[in-house]
Structure 1
Amino acid sequence: MWIKTENNKLTPQDIRRYNWFVWKFIGACFAFVVIIILLTAFEIFGKLPSFRDLENPKSNQATIVLSSDKQELGTYYVENRSNVNYKDISPNVINALVATEDKRFYDHSGIDFSRIFTIFIHNLFGSKQGGSTITQQLALNLFSEKGREHSFIKRLPQKLKELITAVRIERRYTKEEIITMYLNTVDFGAYSTFGIKSAARTYFNTTPDKLSPDQAALLVGILNGTGKYSPIRHPDKALARRNLVLTRMAEAGYLSSGQADEFKLKPLNLDFRPVDHNEGLATYFRDYLKRDVQKIFEEKSIDNNGKPYDLDRDGLKIYTTINATMQEYAEEAQKEYMRILQNQFNQHWKGISLWKSIPTFKALLDAGMRRSDRYRELRAEGKSDEEIKADFNTPTKMNIFTWKGDIDTTMKPIDSIVYCKMLLRNSLMSMDPTTGYVKAWVGGINFEHFKYDQVKQGMRQVGSTAKPFTYAVAIENGYSPCMVIPNVPVTFPDGYTPASGDTRAGDLTLRQALGWSQNWITAALLKEVGVPAVVELTKKMGITSQIEPYPSVFLGPFDASVFDMTGAYSAFVNHGLWTEPTYLLRIEDHNGNVLYENKPKVAQVLNEQTAYVMTYMLKGVIEDGTGTRLKYRYGLNNPIGGKTGTTQNNSDGWFIGITPQLVTGVWTGCEDRDIHFRSTSLGEGANSALPIFAMYMKRVYANTDLGIKKNVDFDQPKTPLTITLDCNAYQPGTTEADKKLNF
């Protein structure tokens, strides 16, 4: 490159040539970098975020489901991410992040050139370190769909985009806004936990503003490698990384060396609560709500600038009527009693052959097998019926539900189907009869194992809970609850004669007949008022399923949901005004703009005097009827009405309870109607459903903060009551015709 002299020394001319070559090389490199940056800026290597993108950065933000008492019921997410404001983040988190990731964060404008040079030297000598500032990392998190590229050829233009985007971000946002956006978007590992809010809840069951220095140091330490420094999988490495962060916080002056040493001595103290769609409160409700919201968006053409809203990514807020405390009480009551009832059921069937006792059992088992995921997977693999049958009879490891907790076991898949068939199912819905607001929704016994919702989707025969509809038509037509009818068989014109059931001999008043759920007297009443009138009222009161106009309608042979039946009974409490059960209030986008606001339907379906008389009639069920165990066993002596229901062969047990402020429906039964208790004493609604209502209401009454008062009675009509409720007020010799017209 240059010519040496005889003394092997460079001449001044050689030195000038050498310097010129070096400067030409440096200039060429500088020009190359400038050209590359310009080409990047002009989007030759791909699109850069626009001004609008920078002002409205997008991220996969979870949609939050909120309860009426401002609790977070759950989220819908691809990335478990919920944003928080700067003021809601502990300074410990911010200090730990700056000290560890970007010490000159408050001094640079997005690019730390001195750090880039230092990192270059470290990497040159084999010590691998990253040179990205917090702002550059934010640019990568927000605007790179594929994440960090690992190929040098692809990483170089991506890095240049980050540099330009970082500078643009710094021009448009304050340092506080940048660090907040970063902490809202960064990945903390563990079940797709994104953002400091989700991380604080997942690892420590707390909020970001309450994180201590050691907790903050642990979370910031995870950022360097969500797998390597996972406190769940690698607690020793996570502890060492946490202590390194504490050291850097001390070096940066955010902690004293003594404080840092003190925090280093503490254990991790995790309170690990991973967020899972199968866990938490109101799992069935949240699952149904998601599909319902998607349906609303589609039907009402609610979109996001021409694109469908994605509940898993668009960070919406869904406000519901569910009360988190009451929901918890309902789930606790179910769990407490269903454990007892399932034990009764198991003992009831112990030593009895299902194959001999249940004629359809083989068909039920076969249908259950064919509906299983295992069967579909084997069929998709091309397995024959013989091979599939062999597979279902081969023991394998599996996880099954029990009321004492899930257990891992080894059993034949076919036996697991038998096990599930013999599990009792249950659902509950509780609502405010005045507003229609649903306060608690328990759709099943365990969402992870049995995802079918029995509140809204499930349809089961309603049994004797249908009888009040017949009595309501009669009261509406002038019949008195004091009217006495002989309890004798009744035959309809078509020759149908209802079975007696548990018949009480003698003459009974209508109130007594409803209280003891007497079939013959109810049939006599139906014969008087007519089947069409009863069907019409039942539909008006919100029963959306098909009801055939047969004389047996008073026995409840039709299917209905807990949702519809509970809503129907609310009209008795609400002065005859049926208010559509409402669980969704409104939906907002991530900026707080209202996308949808729900307006429930309201209809006057009964005269307010008739409705009040029906509350009096239903109170008779509890005072001296099929629901008396509410008083003598559970001590609920306050004003409560209700109706038990038991369907043919004890396949379904119902109880719908009414109080002045709450109406609650409970159903219990097996997945298949052919599997049930073999005795009415165990299978009736008074035993299989009523106790859950009692346990729920006792919890509700005990919490005075809920405002559900125990000793208030049902509101009387605004107009003077013209229907006589005191049967002793009738003079001797008063005819039944007079009582019918309430004279």
Structure 2
Amino acid sequence: MKLIVSLIKRKWVKWVFVVGLLTLGFFTVIYISVFLGAFGKLPTKQDLSSIKQSEATQLLDTEGRLIGKYYIYDRQPLAFADFPKHLIDALVATEDVRFYEHDGVDNVSLLRVFVKSIILRDRSAGGGSTITLQLAKNLFGRKDYAMFSMLINKFKEAIIAKRIEDIYSKNDILTMYFNTVPFPDNTYGIESASRKFFNKPAIDLNYSEAATLIGTLKATSYYNPRLHADRSESRRNVVFQQMQKYGYLSQDEVDSLRTQELLINYKSFNHDVGLAPYFREAVKKELAAILDTLKKSNGEAYDLYRDGLVVYTTLDSTMQAYAEKATKEHLTSLQIMHEKSFGNYAPWQNEKVVNAALKNLPVYQKYKQAGLTESQILDSLSTKRKTELFGWEGDTIQNISVIDSLKHYQKFLSTGMLSVEPQTGAIRAYVGGIDYRFFKYDHVSQSERQVGSTFKPFVYTAAIEDGMKPCTYFSLSAVTYTDYDNWTPTNSDAKEEDPYLNYNLETALSQSVNTIAVKVLNKVGIEKVVQQVEKMGIDKELPKEPSLALGVAEINLKDLTGAYVSYVNNGKPVKPYAITKIEDKHGHVIASFKPEIAEEAAYSDYTREVMLQMMQSTVNSGTAARLRSSYNLKNAIAGKTGTTQNNKDGWFVGVTPKLVTVTWVGNDNHRIGFKSTSIGQGANSALPIFAKFYQKLNADKQFNNITKSHFEKPSQEVLDDLDCEPEKRDGFFKRLFGGSNKEKKFNRK
């Protein structure tokens, strides 16, 4: 007692006591101020009882597999039953071993931290944060309050944590925590993290995977398993040790688990990368229009990025992966061939071509509007900086200017590919370009290009429907159409030099003869062909001139696909579609969609059967014969190649009984085409994508129903009408007295 009195009388003890009281008073004032809302209103128990969190909209393929998300925060919520026990054990052992004992704030842990960290200076003491405190931070974030930010935020979190504990059970708290906690790569919630890093739902995480993800919570960037595998594995092993320390694992189990190699199966759902980015972007635009017409029960509009919708699509993710792989395989080699063909005279290096493209750039327009002179703009665009560049062999970072970058990107060939189920129009594979990160323009939904010889089947369809027999013969000879500026279409084949050689319709189409296609158009009449094309679902203004037969019309790839579908869909065109239904986060269907199929056939069964036989000849012995000879495809395939003027566009349409696929290859800059027809023709530029795609389908037994399907047998009438010699020569007297066929008028009707 005397000792205590003696100490109290000492001045330094009084100062310590006073400072302690002042400190306690300060903390008390801050705490009360926070509690009363001086630093912002705290959520009440009523607010906390109806916590609403932004949830990512999920995009599923036709089998229910996740192919993408739309989100501000990448989050997918789960129920408590969806968390494996070892995941929960790993979290509690590592982050909050007294979780089931405290009321949100672990006073014992706080005292331990205070003694070890502040008094004993032990940096390994750890933190005093609990799972509930972390949840409070995850839900409501932190604000900047200048020099007392940490203290104020900690008090706010402590008050919120206690209120959460008063309302929710421990299992509810764990559920909310797992659904909101941030993981590496801007990922929120265990389900999103599990699917991103291991490509599986959280319920299927094994011990190693669960411990890896829990380990990242200490520092999501530092322990990111994608970027720092060694650090992440080391941290995973620490989690194992914590689980052993608190009785969740035996030492033998830990020793066994530590030997397992850390393997991730990363699947990014970033908007610019991952599977089917062009498809996901196209669906997003479609969803925006759909959601504008829908309201929640409370009258609010749906938010694509926050409301946790589930969008079911027609895409087959396996077929999509095959399509993307086929595209990459072919274009990697075609690009090399394309560049080598020009040598030192590449058009993407041509000053006129570059300058014309430069003036279309947004940055050029921005400088122009700002009042800069031409020389000032060019000077600015010549400034070099580090830039990431796309390349088929791998991306690189180079020190280049905007002009250099333009030259680099202008050389690349682009592509569009669409595969649909002909009976419904359901989109199964969709490739809008070569890499969405660098080339945003979608050649499936946005682009319209000249379709070349892929238009010829429409001309022949109109002719057959109009009564022309398949064994009608036309001369290969060139004809000048005097009422169209003396236009004279020619063929690339040397046989055009023989003016007395005649082909029937099947041979003319399979060999893609230009002169005969125009003659057939002239015989039928432009108007009838245009009307036939309209019946086949292509509703746009077409050029009413003889060159229409050669595909000068610019048509969207989706429309072209929908028209070709009619040949294996009882003559009925379809509108390719991507979305089957949309559910809200509670599983209620808020919108559903059915195939858009024409009510009436665009032509007769006779015409359809004839055209299918003729397009099969294109594959078996015509311009697409390399499908058989080079790629050894034995499937039932009808098709048509297409090449446009100056080799600007290469096309191939592959028609099979249960899948119709259209591929296009060309350059985004219309000034740049292929150097030669041998490289740019559809059979060389576009057909191989289809061929490689089908090779992959053939190798996968799950697609046997598609790859092993057969065309229906044509009627005897069709077989009889096609039974004629493919070609014939004019006889002596016709050659002698047949007269000139070099000039004629064109039939517009």
- Range class of TM-score, shorter chain: 0.7 to 0.9
Counterpart in 2 of 1:734? none
RMSD of aligned Cα (Å): 3.7
CA distance in 2, matches of 1:44, 1:403: 54
**Residues 302 and 595 in structure 1, CA contact (< 8 A), matched pair in contact too:** no
Which of 571, 575, 579 does residue 566 from structure 2 map onto? 571
1:451 is aligned to 2:440: yes
CA contact (8 A) 1:111 1:133 kept: yes
Find the aligned partners of 1:520 and 1:235 in 2 and give their Cα distance. Answer: 64
* 1:617 partner amino acid: M
Contact 2:659 2:706 in 1 (8 A): no
1:63 — aligned with what? 57
* Aligned counterpart in structure 2 of residue 194 of structure 1, from 179, 188, 191: 188
Amino acid at match of 1:389: L
Q: Deviations over 1:398-424 (max 9, x none)?
A: 332222111233445423322322221
Which residue in the other structure is 1:653 paired with? 650
Aligned 8 A contact 2:31 2:155 in 1:
no
Give, in angstroms, the shift of residue 235 of structure 1.
6.4
Please tell me whether residue 502 in structure 1 is matched to residue 492 in structure 2.
yes
Helix, strand or coil at the partner of 1:678:
coil
Matched, 1:514 2:504: no
Q: Which residue of 2 aligns with 1:409?
A: 398
For the pair 1:617 / 2:607, whether they are aligned, the reply is: no
Contact 1:475–1:610 (8 Å) recurs in 2: yes
- Aligned counterpart for 1:461 among listed residues 430, 450, 468: 450
- 8 Å Cα contact 1:395/1:413 also seen in 2: yes
Aligned ranges for residues 572-651 of structure 1 at < 5 Å? 572-603=567-598, 604=600, 605-651=602-648
SS at match of 1:677: coil
In structure 2, what is the equivalent of residue 15 of structure 1?
none
Distance 1:455 1:342 in 2: 20
Partner of 1:562: 557
In the alignment, which residue of structure 1 is the partner of 2:533? 538
**CA shift for structure 1 position 132:** 4.0
Of 282, 301, 319 in structure 2, the residue corresponding to residue 288 of structure 1 is 282
Indicate the larger mover: 594-603 or 680-689: 594-603
Distance change in 2, residues 1:710/1:224 (3 Å): closer
Post-superposition Cα deviations, 1:238-273, rounded to whole Å, max 9, x if no partner, equal 566444433321121001234335545666555566
Query: The residue matched to 2:243 in structure 1 has which SS?
Result: helix
The answer as to 2:314 corresponding to 1:321 is yes
1:525 aligns with 2:528: no
In structure 1, the residue matched to 2:700 is: 703
Give the direction of change, closer, same or farther, for the CA distance of 1:383–1:424 in structure 2 (3 Å limit). same
**Structure 1: any 5+ residue segments left out of the alignment?**
11-20, 731-743
Contact 2:347 2:353 in 1 (8 A): no
Count of aligned pairs: 701
Q: How has the CA–CA distance of structure 1 residues 262 and 708 changed in structure 2, closer, same or farther, with 3 Å as cutoff? A: closer
Q: C-alpha separation between the residues in 2 aligned to 1:556 and 1:113?
A: 79
CA distance in 2, matches of 1:587, 1:444: 27
Q: Please state how far the C-alpha of 1:301 moved relative to its aligned partner.
A: 4.2
Is 1:92–1:211's contact at 8 Å kept on the other side of the alignment? no
Asked if the contact 1:122–1:129 (Cα under 8 Å) also holds between the matched residues in 2, the reply is no
Q: Kindly state the Cα deviation for residue 536 of structure 1 after the two structures are TM-superposed.
A: 2.1
What SS class does the counterpart of residue 643 from structure 1 fall into?
strand
Cα–Cα, structure 1 residues 439 and 225, in superposed 2: closer, same or farther, change >3 Å? same
Residue 472 (structure 2) pairs with residue 483 (structure 1): yes
CA contact (8 A) 2:61 2:313 kept: yes
**Aligned residues of 1:187 and 1:223 also touching (Cα < 8 A):** yes
Counterpart contact for 2:450–2:644, Cα < 8 Å: yes
1:528 to partner: Cα distance:
3.0
For the Cα contact (< 8 Å) 1:646–1:653, is it kept in 2? yes
Residue 711 of structure 1, CA deviation: 4.4
Q: Deviations over 1:107-128 (max 9, x none)?
A: 4454545445555655663668
**Structure 2: any 5+ residue segments left out of the alignment?**
9-17, 726-749
In structure 2, the CA distance between the partners of 1:25 and 1:724, relative to structure 1 (3 Å rule), is closer
Given that residues 140 and 148 in structure 1 are in contact (C-alpha distance below 8 angstroms), is that contact kept between their aligned partners in structure 2? no
**Residue 637 (structure 1) shift:** 3.5
The amino acid across from 2:405 in the alignment is S
Shift of 1:635: 1.5
Over 3 Å counting, the alpha-carbon distance change for 1:721 and 1:170 in structure 2 is farther
Q: Which moved more, 1:100-109 or 1:508-517?
A: 100-109
CA positional deviation for 1:522: 2.3
Bigger Cα displacement from structure 2, 377-386 vs 198-207: 377-386
Q: Distance in 2 between matches of 1:581 and 1:617?
A: 25
Q: Are 1:342 and 2:335 matched, yes or no?
A: yes
Shift of 1:30: 13
Matches of 1:84 and 1:376, distance apart in 2: 48
Superposed, which structure 2 residues align to 1:711-730 within 5 Å?
711-715=708-712, 722-728=717-723
Q: Aligned equivalents of 2:247 and 2:45: distance in 1? A: 38
1:248 maps to: 242
Task: Give, in angstroms, the shift of residue 463 of structure 1.
Answer: 0.9
The verdict on how the C-alpha distance between 1:713 and 1:228 changes in structure 2, with shifts beyond 3 A counting, is: closer
Distance 1:680 1:230, change over 3 A: closer
Partner residue, 1:398: 387
In the alignment, is the contact (CA less than 8 A) between 2:479 and 2:489 conserved in 1?
A: no
How far off is 1:215 after superposition? Answer: 3.8
Within 1, Cα distance between the matches of 2:230 and 2:665?
48
Equivalent of 1:553 in 532, 535, 548 = 548
Q: Do the aligned partners of 1:396 and 1:411 also contact (CA within 8 Å) in 2?
A: yes
Matching residue of 2:203: 209
Q: Which residue of 2 aligns with 1:98?
A: 92
What are the residue-to-residue correspondences of 1:359-374 with 2, within 5 Å?
A: 361-372=350-361
The structural deviation recorded for 1:514 is 1.3
* CA separation of 1:729 and 1:398: change in aligned 2, threshold 3 A: closer
Q: Do structure 1's residue 177 and structure 2's residue 172 form an aligned pair?
A: yes
Alignment partner of 1:442 is 2:436: no
**Contact (CA 8 Å) 2:425, 2:596: kept in 1 or not?**
no
- Alpha-carbon shift at residue 155 of structure 1 (Å): 6.2
Paired with 2:6 and 2:710, the residues of 1 have a C-alpha distance of: 114
Judged with a 3 Å threshold, the aligned counterparts in structure 2 of structure 1 residues 27 and 696 are, in CA distance, closer, same or farther, namely closer
Residue identity opposite 1:681 in structure 2:
S
Map of 1:741 onto structure 2: none
8 Å contact 2:104–2:162 — kept in the other structure? yes
Q: Secondary structure at the match of 1:58?
A: coil
How far residue 135 of structure 1 moved from its aligned partner, in angstroms, is 2.7
Indicate if the aligned counterparts of 1:323 and 1:439 stay in contact, CA closer than 8 A: yes
Distance change (3 Å), C-alpha of 1:243 and 1:636: closer
Q: Using the alignment, how far apart are the partners of 1:532 and 1:44 within structure 2?
A: 75
Secondary structure of 2:182 counterpart: coil
SS in 2 for 1:431: strand
Structure-2 separation of matches of 1:227 and 1:317: 29
Percent of residue pairs identical: 37
1:320/1:584 contact within 8 Å kept: yes
Please name the residue that 1:80 is paired with: 74
Q: Is the 8 A contact 1:575 1:612 kept in 2?
A: no
SS of structure 2 residue aligned to 1:692: helix
Letter matched to residue 572 of structure 1: Y
Bigger mean CA deviation after superposition, 653-662 or 133-142:
133-142
Asked if the contact 1:498/1:519 (under 8 Å) is kept, the reply is no
Deviations 1:417-472 (A, max 9, x none): 22322221111111110111111111111111111111111111011111111111
- The one-letter code of the counterpart of 2:339 is N
Take 2:145 and 2:256, find their aligned partners in 1: how far apart are those partners? 39
Shift of the 275–728 alpha-carbon distance from structure 1 to 2, 3 Å rule, reads: closer
Cα distance in 1 for residues equivalent to 2:25 and 2:676: 94
Alpha-carbon distance in structure 1 between the residues aligned to 2:27 and 2:391 = 69
Work out whether residues 652 and 673 of structure 1, in 8 Å CA contact, stay in contact via their aligned partners in 2: no
Q: How far, CA to CA, are the matches of 1:418 and 1:29 in structure 2?
A: 65
Find the counterpart in structure 2 of residue 687 from structure 1.
684
TM-score normalised over the length of structure 2: 0.84
Question: Does 599-608 or 706-715 show the bigger shift?
Answer: 706-715
